[in-house]
Chain A
Amino acid sequence: MKKKLCTLLSGVLALSLGATLFGCGEGPGGGDEPTVDESGNTIIKIMVHVAQQSPEGMAYNRITDEFNASQTAKDNKIRVRVNYNPRSTTGTGYETELGNMLNQGTLPDIVTFDAPNTWSYAEAGILADVSELISEETQNDFFEISKNTYEGGLFGLPIQESSAGIYYNKAIFRNAGLLGRVENMTADNAWTVAEFEDICNSLKGRCDLPVDLQLYKAADETATYLLYPFILAQGGTFLSEDGMTATGYLNSPFTVAAFQKIRNWVDSGYTSYDASDVGFYTGKYAMYLSSGWSIPEIRNKYREQLGDDWGILPYPKGGANQAASATGSWSFGMTTQCRATEQAALVLEWLVSTESSVSITDATGMIPARQSAITVKNYTPGSPEFLLYDQLNKTGKTRPGTIAYPEFSSAFRGIVNDMRNSGNVSSIVSTKTTELQGNLDRYQR
């Protein structure tokens, strides 16, 4: 009896496993028809890169709930469902998931993606060209530099913009007698690199560290995002226009000299790889290079330490008066596997609408990427947000466009990392350029 039962159980187990394995052919997104719920509403699936409980996640939750309750949703029989798939800082789970979904044909209708990935996602067929689906009025309202374009097509629209600047502690500057030199600085009358160095030098000994450039953040994209404007402002270059050649660009004399300058700042004690990531927040450091996301951090968590006695300064201009500032944040894009493009386009317009932009940027502290939302926000000249917006408008430069962006970013971060332990910047840049060129060549084989 026992033996028979064992045989029967084994058989059932084997059959069920076999059925599971061989039944995998048609994934959840299989077929060409859009998903429709029991009420006849077309389901538009969205995947975002943040946790639902994060301020940004809660903002997405709010605006999609508002959409589901809106007249637009009712008239067009649309229902939005959001999948929160948090992206880790060191890993690349979210991006890998997108690649796997593409291969399995299970991409959701709309996804969020980081701006530098536009080229590779468009080239790979993850993102669809939405230039014909989004109204011209909406398209024209976005800052030109913020749009996710590739080979003339529009592959996404930004949720927000992420201009960065140099935060400064007014009390430390005041005590050093330097406040007057920077207080009224704007994107138009930004300081030069020489003035930046002079101020750093004057701040030495008056605080724990003159400036934290977040050089320790070279394990992830942060370092590339924050530091590339320094290189561009000093005449440096990264890649050829088609994004496929690094030799002669990344190792150009200007690029090497610009990286060398960063290393010199470390040697001179202006900045440090071993800085504390809360040094500025706790009033120990005079300056801090960071993005708009530090604004809510200071106002909510570190109000007691800094109060309102802080501001943001623009990136310093290079020798030939060249100016550059960081741009590029996460965007919404429609995927090529979207099965209800017209309905998804309506949802996409809602997600990047003026109201949504205001709602999301209120939660994240970043600045909107469309003019009408900036008008609603009505930033006061002299405020940190106004400086970021003004700078984005006047000196914003994108990170290099290439389908091999992960490889480029890795090379850039590799240079920053290796400069920590070696003063031979030229050799470091040369090695990384050769390696990057090898990686770029793989795409052309």
Chain B
Amino acid sequence: MSSLPPVNSPLLSISDLACERDSRVLYQSLNITIEAGDLWHVKGRNGAGKTTFLRQLAGLHPVDEGEISLLNNNARVIYIGHKLGLKEQLTADENLTWLAGLNGSSTQQQRYIALERVGLRGYEESVVAQLSAGQKRRVALARLHLCKADIWLLDEPFTSIDQQGIADEQAWLNKHTLAGGAVLMTSHQDITLAQVKVLDLSHWALQCSTNEHGDIV
């Protein structure tokens, strides 16, 4: 992790970001700077735009208003969304092979170690279709240990993971942020780490908006 930037150096700046869906403004004038070492917990009720926000940061959702700029051009981003991006017919190891191949290459030993870290020792050659929902998510999360990235964008990484797994995950988040990485994640669970910063999207939503007839809704 020596390649990670020093703590508190800015990685990503978000200025005046807005998101509109179905003529509903989800959030607007959102200004924050993501620094190395930050752990942002993105909160909001269902439909507040948490997933869209992360997808905008990843570059998967168009940014109509505002600007997202990567301040460190070498910063690498990993996005793990609701859809895990795993091929059901392939084994855990094969899935990691191609996922890691997108950013470089990996050895079998590295992939096995990554799978061991997420508690899937002995499942390396299991076909993903036969794994449970929690195990599938663990396979996807194993990428965090395999590909060295500065910014982790995690959409609901605790979903279907057991309690011990959630504790382990928080330990990784802690280690990654202390080493100078940054994490933005959504979750309906509380994160117990001290350095967590909360980004509540409802603060950036309009308190009231009007529909096309001019009525306040």
Say whether A associates with B.
no
